[in-house]
């Protein structure tokens, strides 16, 4: 995805309709979706290769150019003439989002294109130290694609993580999954309840964690809880609550991408799951203090932890 931003200020209401008039001061574009996950990995000092579909259009060329400039490999990013690049444009006035405009669809890809995609993926996974399945519900992350990734990762014995959107996927063997609270309840098929101030006393949430361990069969589960931090759920062990590290929150867009990128990169580098989760929590605290889709550098992370 390509995230576009129009930044400005509001001084009056339009005479044509009861809407604010935004005086534009700046326009910018940054990688979004799984491309933002890759940007986060690279910003933290890792090497990343993106796998997905991009349209053969102006937005696709702009997105590819941004990734190449940052050093992200496009080895498994396939160009498609059948589908446009997903674009999300946010108009922000005085640090407040006024409106978001999306150009997107849930695409149906041909068997030929998916077969080529899976072949590319298997080669990329064989050269990787970790794999992130970042699903945004646009049709790329289908079960045959997931199966190909898990087979290749099992051969290489590298950790696979999942940021879920399609809750029907079979993902046996992943290292961990990072649903937020709403996604966790939806994936477990349980009506969402009011959050408890103490996640370890939230019986409904703890039950959802157990259900997802049985459903997805991950080694661990990380449920992100916004201002309440994270709940780490294990097999045969008591859950662990990691409190939130954010000091100021300007924009939460893309924070989940930072969490899964940081945690997976840390695991690939030899950290324990608790260490990886805590680093991810600190990194999320950095990016929510920035405006728009953002990343975190090692220097920012260390300064923030101090």
Would you list the domain boundaries of the chain?
32-85+105-158+245-305
Which structure tokens are listed for 184? 């966790």
* Span 138-157, average pLDDT: 92
Contact 31, 39 (CB under 8 A): yes
* Span 16-28, average pLDDT: 95
pLDDT surpassing 80 at residue 37: yes
How remote is the C-alpha of 222 from its chain's centroid?
A: 13
What is the Cα–Cα distance from 34 to 36, expressed in whole angstroms? Answer: 5
Active site residues: 257
pLDDT surpassing 70 at residue 255: yes
CA pseudo-torsion sign 265, 267, 271, 274: positive
Pick the CATH number of 32-85+105-158+245-305 from 3.40.1190.20, 1.20.1600.10, 3.60.15.10, 3.40.190.10: 3.40.1190.20
State residue 286's pLDDT score.
Answer: 92
Buried b (16+ CB within 10 A) or exposed e, 142-158: eeebbebbbebbeeeeb
* Span 176-193, average pLDDT: 95
* Span 130-156, average pLDDT: 92
What is the Cα–Cα distance from 73 to 53, expressed in whole angstroms? Answer: 14
State residue 157's pLDDT score.
Answer: 92
| DSSP 3-state of 217 | coil
| DSSP 3-state of 244 | coil
State residue 247's pLDDT score.
Answer: 72
| pLDDT band at residue 160 using 50, 70 and 90 as cut-offs | very high
* C-alpha dist (Å) from residue 298 to 41, 42, 208, 293: 11, 10, 34, 17
pLDDT tens digit string along 97-127?
999 999 987 777 788 888 888 988 998 999 9
pLDDT surpassing 90 at residue 152: yes
| DSSP 3-state of 242 | strand
State residue 251's pLDDT score.
Answer: 64
| DSSP 3-state of 23 | strand
């Amino acid at each position: 995805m390509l995230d576009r931003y129009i930044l400005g200020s509001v001084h009056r209401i339009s005479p044509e309709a009861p809407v604010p008039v935004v005086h534009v001061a700046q326009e910018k574009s940054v990688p979004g979706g799984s491309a933002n996950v890759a940007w986060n990995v690279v910003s933290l000092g890792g090497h990343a290769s993106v796998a997905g579909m991009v349209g053969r259009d102006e937005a696709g060329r702009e997105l590819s150019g941004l990734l190449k400039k940052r050093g992200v490999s496009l080895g498994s990013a396939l160009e498609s003439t059948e589908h446009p690049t997903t674009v999300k444009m946010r108009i922000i006035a005085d640090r407040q989002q006024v409106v978001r405009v999306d150009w997107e669809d849930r695409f149906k890809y041909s068997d030929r294109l998916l077969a080529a995609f899976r072949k590319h993926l298997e080669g990329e996974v064989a050269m990787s130290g970790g794999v992130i399945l970042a699903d945004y519900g646009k049709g790329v992350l289908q079960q045959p694609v997931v199966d190909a990734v898990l087979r290749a990762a099992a051969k290489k014995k590298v950790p696979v993580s999942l940021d879920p959107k399609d809750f029907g996927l079979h993902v046996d063997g992943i290292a961990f999954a990072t649903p937020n609270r709403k996604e966790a309840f939806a994936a477990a098929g349980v009506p969402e309840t009011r959050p408890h101030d103490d996640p370890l006393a939230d019986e409904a949430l703890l039950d959802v964690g157990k259900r997802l361990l049985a459903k997805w069969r991950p080694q661990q589960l990380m449920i992100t809880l916004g201002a309440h931090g994270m709940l780490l759920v294990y097999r045969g062990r008591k859950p662990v609550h990691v409190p939130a590290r954010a000091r100021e929150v300007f924009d939460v867009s893309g924070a989940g991408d930072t969490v899964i990128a940081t945690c997976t990169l840390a695991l690939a580098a030899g950290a324990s799951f608790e260490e990886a989760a805590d680093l991810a929590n600190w990194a999320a605290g950095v990016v929510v203090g920035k405006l728009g889709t953002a990343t975190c550098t090692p220097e920012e992370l260390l300064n923030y932890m101090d």
